[in-house]
Amino acid sequence: MVSRLSFMGVIARVFMWAFLLGLVVVVVYPLLWMVLNGFKTNAELFSDPFALPVDWSFDNYRKAWNRGVGDYLTTSVLVTATSTVATVFVSAWAAYGLTRVDIPLNKAITALILGGLMLAPTVALVPLVKMFQAMGLYNSFWALLILYTAFRIPFTTFLIRAYMIDLPREVDEAAEVDGAGRWTAFWRIILPMCKPIITSTVLLQILFTWNEYLFAMVFTSGSGVQTLPVGLTSLMSKHGTEFPVVFAGMVIAAVPVVLLFVFGQRYIVKGLADGIGK
């Protein structure tokens, strides 16, 4: 009986490792294929798309950069950085008010903010376009900043609030005894204690903003304000016959996110586990 159980355990482990290996191949191989094709010429790509490049030249990456990828990258960095700072700060301040301050209709306000999680962005596209056109913000950096901040505040507030609920109330009382106001207590005491969930929300906001396509496509039309996902589409339509250049642009766009996920995934998991998992 014992030997049978151990044999079944070995079989289960073999199947588990086979599944994980297959999953790695499914995820990694397309990325590797994209990187390799960024070094090829059109003739090499169409003659044998799965072969290694004959000449490992960075000409396609230089072409992609000069054809607008550099500008798209700059715009994406600016939009991502500003929206991340705005979203996390507003959400943390809102979570602090909902968990540490006794305010009237606290539960109703919490339900109203979290109700934003149920709002699908596609439903609001037409009225949002009309509103931004009337305000003169359409096709501008501010349009993306407002949209990326507003639509992510409910989710980010939900995460930070779940973490703040379990923070000891004694720290608030000690801060009040020492003469600290609400802002000082929030900025110097509560926020540092929320470092794990703050780190997680920052990384999640960066990943969302960097890859977001719908808002960037609908609310921007000029090359000066387009982010990488939309810019790469334009690159493909303008220079569609040079697919290696398009692949090179995709690699440039993917590298920051891949590096961020590789080095930040443990912080994401730890923050979410310490917050929602409590």
Task: Output 131 or 112, whichever has higher pLDDT.
Answer: 131
Sequence-ordered alpha helix ranges (H) in 123-213: 125-135, 141-150, 153-164, 170-177, 182-185, 191-193, 195-211
pLDDT digits (tens, 9 = 90+) for 133-188: 999 999 889 999 999 999 999 999 989 998 898 888 888 888 888 888 888 888 88
Give the pLDDT mean for 98-108. 83
Single-letter amino acid code for the residue at 266: R
**Is pLDDT at 21 greater than 70 in this prediction?**
yes
Q: What is the pLDDT of residue 105?
A: 80
The pLDDT of residue 83: 96
User: What is the Cα–Cα distance from 200 to 92, expressed in whole angstroms?
Assistant: 12
Residue 2 pLDDT grade (very low, low, confident, very high; cuts 50, 70, 90):
very low
Q: What is the DSSP letter of 111?
A: H
The domain segmentation of the chain, as residue ranges, is 60-275
Q: Band of the pLDDT at 95, cuts 50, 70, 90?
A: very high
Radius of gyration, alpha carbons of the chain: 24
Residue 65 CB partners (closer than 8 Å, separation 6+): 252
**pLDDT of 217 higher than 60:** yes
- pLDDT tens, residue by residue, 223-250: 678 899 998 887 776 545 688 888 999 9
112 C-beta neighbours (distance < 10 Å), count = 11
* pLDDT tens for each residue of 182-207: 888 888 888 988 988 998 899 999 99
In this predicted structure, what is the pLDDT of residue 223?
A: 62
Contact of 162 with 275, CB cutoff 8 Å: yes
Quick one: CA torsion of 161, 163, 165, 168, rounded to 10 degrees? -140
Question: Which of 196, 108, 187, 201 is CA-nearest to residue 158?
Answer: 201
pLDDT mean across residues, the chain: 85
267 vs 49: which has the higher pLDDT: 49
195 CB-side CA count, 13 A: 4
pLDDT at 94 over 60: yes
86 close to 157: Cβ distance less than 8 angstroms? no
Q: What's the fold here for domain 60-275?
A: MetI-like fold (1.10.3720)
